[in-house]
Structure 1
Amino acid sequence: MDTREQRADRRSDKGEERRMYDVLVVGSANADLTVRVARRPGAGETVLGTDLVETAGGKGANQAAAAARIGGRTALLARVGGDAYGELLLAAQRMAGTDVTPVIVDEGARTGTAMIIVDPDGDNSIVVSPGANAALTPHDVTAAKDVIAASSVVSLQLEVPMETVRAAAATAEAAGTRVVLNPSPAPDTLDRELLAVADPLVVNEHEARQLSGRTGGTAADWASALREQGARSVVVTLGGDGALVLDASGTAAIPGVRVKAVDTTGAGDAFTGALATRLAAGATLPEAARFAVRVGAAAVTKPGAQPSYPTADDLAQLPEN
C-alpha cells in the first residue's frame, strides 16, 4: 500500500490539473419528502402531520451542496431521473454552486426519493427509495476518471451500489486523490479494500460501534478498532457533543457547538461536506473536524437538509467551539 508521502507525490505530479475541484462527491441524489409530526407513529399506528414539503436531498447531493455553500469548488457525480424531482435536484445544486456537469440524467428512471418524518425535538426517521441512484455504475465512474483525477478529495457514501463505491475509491486511489468515506447506511461489515482507502472514515456513534464489532466501549475505542482494521484515519461524530478524531498523530476530542436543534436531517452530510472541503484546502484532520462541527451545528438550526446548510457568513453568527 502506498504511503501518505507517495500519494502526496502523485497529487503534486498532477500540477494544475489537480486544482480543478476541491471536492468531487460520488453518490446519491434524492428528493426529500418531509412531514413534521407531534410524535412518530408506532407499529400499525396512524398520526396526522403537517403539509408535505419537497426539498432536495440524498447523502451525495447533500454533501456536495454543503461543500459548495461554504466556498468549496465542488462537483457531483450522480444519477437522477428525467422527471420533476430530477430538475429540482439539479436546480438546488446549481443554486448552491455545485458543478453538475458530471450528473447523469436517466430519462427512463425515477429520481430517488426519501420519506422523512420529523418529531418536535428535530429527530427524524427516514425511508429511502433509491430510484436512479441504483443505476449509478462502475462504468459511470470510469467515464468520469478525469474528473476524479482533477479533484483533491473524493467523498463517498453507501446510497449507491457498493461496486460503484469500490470503483470510485479505487480510481481515486490510483490518481492520488484523497478519499473521504461515510459508510452510511452502515453495512453489516465493510470490506478491507474499501476501508483501507478511507482517509478519513466518517461515522456516527451507531455506525462506529457496529462497524468496529464492539458491543461496548467508547467512541475512542471504536475509532481505534476501525483504524486497526485498516482505516487510515477515523472521525466519529457525536451530535451536539462534537466529534472524536483519530489519525497517525493521535486522538483529538473536538467540542460541540450548543444550538437549538430544529431538524437534524442531513446534519451529518453537512459535516462530511465541510470536512472534505477543509481537507482539500490543506487543513489537518482535527482542524477540518473543528470547522465541520460548526457547519453541522448550523445545519440543525433550520428545517430540511440542503436548505439548512450555512454559508461562511452564517457560521460567523455561531458561538465558538
Structure 2
Amino acid sequence: MRILCLGEALVDLVCQRTVASFAEADAFVPRLGGAGANVAVTAARRGADVALAGGAGTDPWGAWLAERLQDEGVELTAFERSDDVVTPVAFVTVDADAQPSAAVYGAGAAAAVARLGAERAQDAVDGSDALFVTSGTLVGEAERAVTLAARERALRDGKPVVVDANFRAERWRTTSNAVEVTGPLADRAFLVRANAQEARALTGETDPAAAAQSLLAAGAQHVVITLGAGGALLRGGGLDRDVSAPAATPVDTTGAGDAVTGVLLAALARTGFYPASVAAMLPDAMAEAARATERYGALAV
C-alpha cells in the first residue's frame, strides 16, 4: 500500500550540544526536518511505499531537501518546488532537559502546500491507498483547504486516514484555535496519534486513558497516546494495550513522536492496514522514539 504524507519538509539546522540560550550556539548542522518529512522517511526506512505531498523552493536548500528525500526512497511526484517559495530553515537549539527550541525562517512549508492546490492534492490521494496528515498544514486558510480536500477525498473513497495532532503552539493564535481546527479530524480517522498534552488539549481530559476514550467517542477508530518516558497506550477496536518506554538518555526530543507514527505507518502499510499491527508494533515504535531522543536531530544520519 502506498501512503501519502501531506505535510511539511524543512531544513533543521541543529546545534549539536546543550545550550542555555540561542546566544550560546556556535555551530549548526543541517538535518531533514518537518513532521511530514520525518514520518515519511521513518516509514520508508522500514520498507513502506511512501509519497510526500508538499513542496519547497527552487533555492539551494530546496534542492538539498529534495535530494535527501529521494535518497531515502520517498516518492516526490506531488512535492512541488517553486520559484516563489522560500524553503524554510529552522535553527534548533536544545536545553539541558533535552527540550528543543526552534527559530524558523521563511513560511515556505505553508506556502508550498497551499501552492500544491486542492486538485493536485486530491490527485495524489487518488494515486495512494492511505493518507497521513497533521495539524501543521491546518494553520493557514489556504493550506487548510488543501488538507481538508485531501482528507475528504480519502474518506469518500474509503481510504484510511491517519492523523497526528503534532501541535506547535507558536504557530497558532491560541491553543483553543488549534483544537477547534484539528479536533474534527478525529472523526472517521483510522488512527489518531497524540502526546499527553495534545490529548488533554483536544479532549479536556487530564487522564490519558480517558482522553483516548473521548477521541474514540469523537469518531476515531483507534487512538495512540504517547507519554514520553511513561510509555504509550492504545485504545480502540478491542486492541487496548499499554506499553512501557525503553530506558534512554535523552539529549534531544525533537521528532520522537514522528518516529512513533512512522513506525506504525510502516506496519500498517505492510499489513494492508490490519489494526492488530498497531498493537504488535507499538513497543517497537516506542523503542524507535527512545533512540531518536538520544541523538541530535529528528532522524539518524
In structure 2, what is the Cα distance between the partners aligned to 1:191 and 1:27? 14
Structure 1 residue 295: deviation in Å?
Answer: 2.1
**What does residue 266 of structure 1 align with?**
255
Structure 1 residues 191 and 94, CA gap change in structure 2 (3 angstroms): closer
In structure 2, what is the Cα distance between the partners aligned to 1:191 and 1:120? 31
**What does residue 99 of structure 1 align with?**
75
In structure 2, what is the Cα distance between the partners aligned to 1:74 and 1:130? 26
In structure 1, what is the Cα distance between the partners aligned to 2:224 and 2:35? 17
1:168-207 aligned within 5 A: 168-185=150-167, 187-190=178-181, 193-207=184-198
Match of 1:81 among 57, 65, 71: 57
Equivalent pair of 2:19/2:25 in contact (CA under 8 Å): no
**What does residue 235 of structure 2 align with?**
246
Structure 1 residues 237 and 230, CA gap change in structure 2 (3 angstroms): same
Can you list the C-alpha shifts for 1:28-82, whole angstroms capped at 9, x where unaligned? 11111222564433xxxx6412302222211111111111111111111111011
Match of 2:204 among 210, 213, 230: 213
Q: Where does the alignment leave 5 or more consecutive residues of structure 1 unmatched?
A: 1-18, 309-321
Q: Which stretch shifts more, 243-252 or 114-123?
A: 114-123
Structure 1 residue 150: deviation in Å?
Answer: 3.6
**What does residue 56 of structure 1 align with?**
32
Match of 1:225 among 214, 224, 231: 214
In structure 1, what is the Cα distance between the partners aligned to 2:226 and 2:106? 25
Equivalent pair of 1:57/1:89 in contact (CA under 8 Å): no
State the superposition RMSD in angstroms. 2.2
Structure 1 residues 174 and 130, CA gap change in structure 2 (3 angstroms): farther
Whose Rg is larger?
1
**Given the alignment of the two structures, is residue 167 of structure 1 paired with residue 149 of structure 2, yes or no?**
yes
Can you list the C-alpha shifts for 1:83-115, whole angstroms capped at 9, x where unaligned? 111111111211211111221001111012223
1:300-315 aligned within 5 A: 300-307=293-300
**What amino acid does structure 2 have at the position aligned with 1:111?**
T
In structure 1, what is the Cα distance between the partners aligned to 2:118 and 2:127? 13
Equivalent pair of 1:153/1:276 in contact (CA under 8 Å): no
Percent identity over paired residues: 29
**Given the alignment of the two structures, is residue 145 of structure 1 paired with residue 122 of structure 2, yes or no?**
yes
In structure 2, what is the Cα distance between the partners aligned to 1:130 and 1:176? 36
Equivalent pair of 1:149/1:176 in contact (CA under 8 Å): no
In structure 2, what is the Cα distance between the partners aligned to 1:164 and 1:145? 8
**What amino acid does structure 1 have at the position aligned with 2:188?**
V
Taking structure 1 as the reference length, the TM-score comes to: 0.80
Can you list the C-alpha shifts for 1:112-150, whole angstroms capped at 9, x where unaligned? 222321124422123444622222138634224343234
In structure 1, what is the Cα distance between the partners aligned to 2:102 and 2:236? 32
In structure 2, what is the Cα distance between the partners aligned to 1:262 and 1:305? 11
Equivalent pair of 1:81/1:108 in contact (CA under 8 Å): yes
Equivalent pair of 2:194/2:225 in contact (CA under 8 Å): yes
Equivalent pair of 2:28/2:91 in contact (CA under 8 Å): no
Equivalent pair of 2:11/2:90 in contact (CA under 8 Å): yes
Any idea what SS the aligned residue of 1:137 has?
A: helix
**What amino acid does structure 2 have at the position aligned with 1:154?**
L
**What does residue 244 of structure 2 align with?**
255
**What does residue 173 of structure 2 align with?**
none
Equivalent pair of 1:117/1:124 in contact (CA under 8 Å): yes
Any idea what SS the aligned residue of 1:76 has?
A: strand
Equivalent pair of 1:153/1:178 in contact (CA under 8 Å): yes
**What does residue 235 of structure 1 align with?**
224
**What does residue 28 of structure 1 align with?**
8
Equivalent pair of 2:53/2:124 in contact (CA under 8 Å): no
**Given the alignment of the two structures, is residue 65 of structure 1 paired with residue 44 of structure 2, yes or no?**
no
